[in-house]
Each structure stands twice: as structure tokens, then as C-alpha cells.
Structure 1
Amino acid sequence: MKKVEFFFDVGSPASYLAWTQLPKICAAKGAELVFRPMLLGGIFQATGNASPAAVPAKGRYSSIDLGRFAHRYGVPLVMNPHFPINTLQLMRAVTGVQMRHPERFESFLAQLFNALWVEALNLNEPALVGRTIIRAGFSIDEVLALTNELDVKAQLRSTTDEALERGVFGAPTMFVRDEMFFGQDRLVFVEEALS
């Protein structure tokens, strides 16, 4: 079966936008969507890349451009005023839920993406993270335990390292076989690669 590997971090608004479109694209093309949670901060550190927000003019433009894509896709997007969010614990939680509760993974991911990019919550605040976890149907203790499991931490590191080895420098990055596509604005090329 054809598949799209989706390397992402919930702290990336472009990852959010790609996430709103990839399930439809994969369904239409008869492809499997494979979620590959990685730590974008680790990618940036290893590659010397940085968020567009690090360059004020580019950051302002990126916000406008992402808004245009959200309008095109017909999805909500609120640029989070608390950006950037430290996503280490969030991405450990995403990885842990994917590993231990795969049947609940997509709904958990949806809660996080919506909290960050629709509600624009400050997920640097533990109380707001807790509220989001509870809304996703988990207890705070359950998710905290997952984020502290050694194999969960190792899996997130391993996926991030694999992404680096494959040439990833930002999020989202998609692979169809060995062909890499960076950015939610490249989804048309992902569709073509699946055809």
C-alpha cells in the first residue's frame, strides 16, 4: 500500500495545516497516513534552522501566508500569541499515546492541534496543558507517566534522529517512498507522488 510519512511537531502551525489536509489526500489516493512525531527544536538545533518567527519580517509574512492557506483549506487558524511553545513534553505525550494507546492517538492529537492553533492556548502553562489532556479523555497523571517512560523518550529521540538522517530540516516534512516534501504548501506534490 502507498503511504505518506508525516514528520511533524504540534508547535508548528504549518504542521497543523498539513494535518487538516493529509487524511483527505491519503483517503482519496488510497494511501496510508503514517504519523511520525518528532521534536522540531531538536531538528532546528541540529541543522541550524530556525522558526520564520526568528526573522521579524519573515515571521509577519509567514503569519499572513498561513492565514491564506487556512482560508483556502476552509479551516480555522489563530496564530498563537504565545508562540513559540516548548513542545518537548507535548511531543513526548504524543509519542507515548501513539505507542500505548494507538486507538486514541488521533483524537489526542486533534485536541493538541486545536488547543494550539484554533483556541491559541498558552501550552507553556501546565494548567492549560492539563485541561487539554482531560478534554482528550486522559488523566493528567496518566499522560505525565507516559512522558517519563524511558522508551517513550527514546522513541521520540529515535524518530527525530531518523528525520535528520533523511534530510529533514523543518516541519512538516512528508515522505512518499524516498521522496521528501517540506512544508504544508507542498501538499499538491505529495498528491502527485501518490498518483
Structure 2
Amino acid sequence: MRKTLDFYFDFGSPTAYLAHKRLGQLAALYPLDVTYKPMLLGGVFKATGNTSPVAIPAKGHYMMAHDLPRFAHRYGVELNPNPYFPINTLNLMRAAIAAQRLDCAQTFINAMYDAVWVQGKNMGDTEVVVAALTAHALDAQALLALSQDPEVKTELIANTEAAVARGIFGTPTFFMEDQMYFGQDRLDFVEEALRH
């Protein structure tokens, strides 16, 4: 029986990038449909009183220098530090909703995650974003124009508020069959549930 997993994400999180890559692998192995839920991580942090792990220098260094590279190696995926981190992802997350409306969400998500966490691009620069979208045969102008539509902006706010209402305090967070899982390092529990 197919299962559906809701994935609450923000492009600014390297752990959400790893989760994105690992979920693609799991979806190839199991009857799994992943529903991407764009949210604004900064808004979640503000609403819950949480903060980024990198706000603690020793923890941030450990994660970026040791922990995350270990998981990237385990998954067989590329992960590179982004020199522009932390990134203001507001416009990228609005554009993710625009991509859902234009039926190109998966290509868009792949393009943005690779640009941020493989190629180390400055995705706060609109020209860089346009180039990254164009390289993946996406209509950059249509996506960026729609991303500024008031309805799209409102949807991102609603997604973020809904995430907080579901008990989310960071990303990546997943829901499958009403069970919440937090952190890409907990995807083994998701895989365990998929086996049953």
C-alpha cells in the first residue's frame, strides 16, 4: 500500500537538503509519495522560540565539518558548504509555491537545492537565481513574477503557520500516517515504518 509523507522544508537548511536527497532514494525503494510543503524556517523559529544549530558556534562547526559530511557520504550524495550561508530564503520559498502552481515543483526544488548545497551559489542574488532556473529549462521570469503574487505570499505565510500548528519547530520535519519525525537523521524511522 502506498504511503504519503509530508515534507516541511526550507532551502536554507543543509539537513533539509540531505533529507530531500534521501527521500528521493526511499521513494525509489518503497511505494512512497512525498508531498513538499514549503515553509519559512525563520518564521517557524520566531513562532517557536527556536534557533538555528549554527547559532551555537561549536555545534555549527561540528555539524558542517563532521556530521553532515558523514551523512552525505552515507547517502552517496554531494554536499558542499555554501559561502553565503545563512541565506535569506524568503523569495526562494515563495517561488517554490509558484513552482507548485506552475507544475514544475520537482525540477525547481532539485535546481534550488543543488544551487545552494552543491554549487554553493549566492541564491540571494536574483541574477544568480535566474541563471540557475534557466540552466534547468525553467521559465525564470514566470516563476519569479508569480512568486510576488499576493496569493502566493499569503500561502507561504499560511503554510508556515500550519507547520507551527502541527508542532513543527524546525526543518526537515516529516509527517506520515499522523506520525511526526524531525531531522534527516531520523529517516531510518521513516524507512522502518515503510517496511510495515
TM class by smaller structure: over 0.9
Deviation at 1:26, TM superposition (A): 2.8
In the other structure, the counterpart of 1:61 is 62
Aligned twin of 2:126: 126
Partner of 2:85: 83
1:106 matched to 2:106: yes
Q: Return the alpha-carbon distance in structure 2 between the equivalents of residues 152 and 89 of structure 1.
A: 11
In structure 1, what residue type is equivalent to 2:189? Answer: F
Superposition deviation, residue 50 in structure 1? 1.1
Q: What is the CA–CA distance in structure 2 between the aligned matches of 1:113 and 1:58, rounded to whole Å?
A: 23
After superposition, residues 181-192 of structure 1 pair within 5 angstroms as 181-192=181-192
Q: In the alignment, which residue of structure 1 is the partner of 2:97?
A: 95
Instruction: Give the letter for the 1:120 counterpart.
Output: G
Q: Which residue does 1:160 correspond to in 2?
A: 160
Note the C-alpha offset of 1:171. 0.6
Amino acid at match of 2:127: A
Structure 2 gap ranges (5+) = none
Give the match for residue 11 of structure 1.
Answer: 12
1:25 shift after superposition? 1.3
Q: What root-mean-square deviation, in Å, do the aligned CA atoms of Structure 1 and Structure 2 show?
A: 1.2
Judge conservation of contact 1:133–1:143 (CA < 8 Å) in 2: no
So what's the TM-score if we normalise by structure 2? 0.94
Whole-angstrom distance in 2 between the partners of 1:141 and 1:180: 36
- 1:177 is displaced (CA, Å) by 1.7
Q: Aligned AA for 1:17?
A: L
CA shift digits 1:135-168 (9 cap, x unpaired): 2323443122111112211211111111100110
Name the CA distance, whole Å, in 1 between partners of 2:143 and 2:97. 11
Compute the displacement of 1:193 (Å): 2.1
Paired-residue identity, %: 47
**TM-score scaled by structure 1?**
0.94
Pairs within 5 Å for 1:1-80: 1-63=2-64, 64-80=66-82
Contact 1:175 1:181 in 2 (8 A): yes
